[in-house]
């Protein structure tokens, strides 16, 4: 299977936050770039274009309002959309209304004839931080699966990817995937699409053994450096993406030499 026109829309998950690369727009790489690199290689002489319209911090309605029309206008043959997590984490959310709007968006994307791929939300059961909203995530996932089935969209079942309970797949902010997490997600996306590839998981860093006191200090540092700024933005109506532009707003080939596209644990 091959694709020639790939458009990715969504929030920080798709923008690539947590997977730094100073040579790329917004200083990020991410799973979508990793997928696009493989699709580009497979397209060969037939040509390939990739657009990534995702912006960190965006809620579902903003993604639909800002990115949906632009994605459809690019006439893709593959669209990936991840949305809703930023809504679920708000103090109040109407999941049925959220899913209804998501369903309409998936319907419009599917009507273009493009292959559409969506995600369930991650299972936060292994995290003391996010466990209180686990029920919301589970209900949201059922609504997403139902909508995907209705519109013939493929689903990456993030909920069932248990390895993501290992914090080594995540960035230090504990909110976004780190490079191993993005690589693992790229593998899952390509496998779900039925695209042959030779991507391999990246090696995981060794976790230091902390004393209880060290763990407490580390948690306090996280609260000050990541959690409190996130809460402050929510309270003041601001977003981390307020001054961010889409990384690849139009279809183009990634200007990344094949020699710098790591495909094995030893190359990243």
- Confidence check: pLDDT of 228 > 70: no
- Residues 134-152: what's their mean pLDDT? 96
- Check residue 13 and give left, alpha or beta (phi > 0: left; psi -120 to 50: alpha): alpha
- Check residue 113 and give left, alpha or beta (phi > 0: left; psi -120 to 50: alpha): left
- Neighbouring CB atoms inside 10 A of 254's CB total 18
Residue extents of the structural domains in the chain: 5-202, 211-243
Residues 6+ apart with CB under 8 A from 73: none
- Residues 105-130: what's their mean pLDDT? 91
Q: Which residue has the higher pLDDT, 255 or 55?
A: 55
> Is 251 within 8 Å of 74 (Cβ atoms)?
yes
Using CA atoms, how far residue 267 sits from 61, 136, 167, 262, in Å, is 39, 39, 22, 5
Q: What percentage of the chain carries pLDDT values higher than 70?
A: 84
**Which of these, 69, 60, 46, 72, lies nearest to 10 by C-alpha position?**
60
**Which of these, 57, 64, 265, lies nearest to 176 by C-alpha position?**
57
Kindly indicate the confidence band of residue 250, based on its pLDDT and cuts at 50, 70 and 90: very high
pLDDT in tens, 144-162: 999 999 999 999 999 999 9
Q: Rounded distance, CA 105 to CA 98, Å?
A: 11
- Confidence check: pLDDT of 13 > 60: yes
Question: Half-sphere exposure of residue 32, counting CA atoms within 13 Å on the CB side?
Answer: 32
pLDDT in tens, 158-185: 999 999 999 899 988 878 999 999 999 9
Q: Rounded distance, CA 38 to CA 88, Å?
A: 32
Q: Would you state the structure tokens that stand for residue 227, as one six-digit string? A: 């959690």
User: How high is the pLDDT of residue 258?
Assistant: 44
- Neighbouring CB atoms inside 10 A of 198's CB total 8
Q: Which helix (H) or strand (E) holds 103?
A: helix 95-111
Q: Which residue has the higher pLDDT, 110 or 215?
A: 110
Q: Would you state the structure tokens that stand for residue 216, as one six-digit string? A: 């407490």
User: How high is the pLDDT of residue 199?
Assistant: 97
Using CA atoms, how far residue 15 sits from 61, 66, 209, in Å, is 17, 14, 32
Q: Rounded distance, CA 243 to CA 226, Å?
A: 19
User: How high is the pLDDT of residue 205?
Assistant: 83
User: How high is the pLDDT of residue 149?
Assistant: 98
Local structure of residue 205 (DSSP, 8 states): P
- Residues 110-131: what's their mean pLDDT? 89
Which of these ranges, 168-177, 179-188, 233-242, 249-258, has the smallest mean pLDDT? 233-242
- Neighbouring CB atoms inside 10 A of 238's CB total 12
User: Right CATH number for 5-202 from 3.40.50.300, 3.30.70.2860, 1.10.510.10, 3.40.50.1110?
Assistant: 3.40.50.1110
Q: Rounded distance, CA 52 to CA 247, Å?
A: 6
Q: Which residue has the higher pLDDT, 211 or 4?
A: 4
Q: Would you state the structure tokens that stand for residue 222, as one six-digit string? A: 């996280």
**At 23, is the secondary structure helix, strand, or coil?**
coil
The mean pLDDT value of the chain amounts to: 87
Question: Half-sphere exposure of residue 53, counting CA atoms within 13 Å on the CB side?
Answer: 27
User: How high is the pLDDT of residue 8?
Assistant: 98
Q: Which residue has the higher pLDDT, 57 or 241?
A: 57
């Amino acid at each position: 299977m091959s694709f020639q026109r790939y458009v990715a829309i969504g929030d920080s998950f798709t923008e690539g936050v947590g997977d730094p690369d100073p040579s790329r727009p917004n200083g990020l790489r991410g799973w979508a770039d990793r997928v696009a690199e493989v699709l580009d290689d497979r397209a060969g002489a037939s040509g390939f274009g990739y657009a990534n319209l995702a912006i960190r911090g965006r809620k579902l309605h903003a993604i639909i309002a800002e990115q949906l029309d632009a994605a459809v206008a690019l006439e893709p043959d593959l669209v990936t959309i991840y949305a809703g997590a930023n809504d679920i984490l708000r103090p109040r959310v109407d999941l049925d209304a959220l899913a209804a709007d998501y369903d309409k968006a998936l319907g419009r994307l599917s009507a273009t004839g493009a292959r559409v791929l969506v995600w369930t939300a991650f299972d936060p059961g292994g995290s003391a931080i996010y466990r209180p909203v686990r029920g919301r995530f589970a209900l949201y996932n059922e609504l997403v699966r139902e909508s995907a089935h209705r519109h013939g969209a493929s689903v990456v079942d993030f909920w069932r990817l248990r390895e993501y309970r290992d914090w080594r797949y995540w960035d230090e902010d504990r909110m976004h995937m780190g490079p191993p997490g993005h690589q693992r997600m790229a593998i899952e996306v390509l496998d779900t699409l039925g695209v042959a590839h030779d991507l391999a998981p990246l090696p995981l860093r060794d976790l230091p053994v902390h004393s209880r006191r060290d763990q407490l200090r580390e948690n306090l540092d996280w609260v000050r450096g990541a959690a409190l700024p996130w809460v402050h933005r929510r309270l003041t109506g601001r977003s981390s993406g307020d001054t961010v532009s889409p990384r690849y707003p139009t279809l183009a080939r990634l200007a990344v030499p094949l020699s710098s596209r790591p495909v094995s644990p030893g190359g990243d």
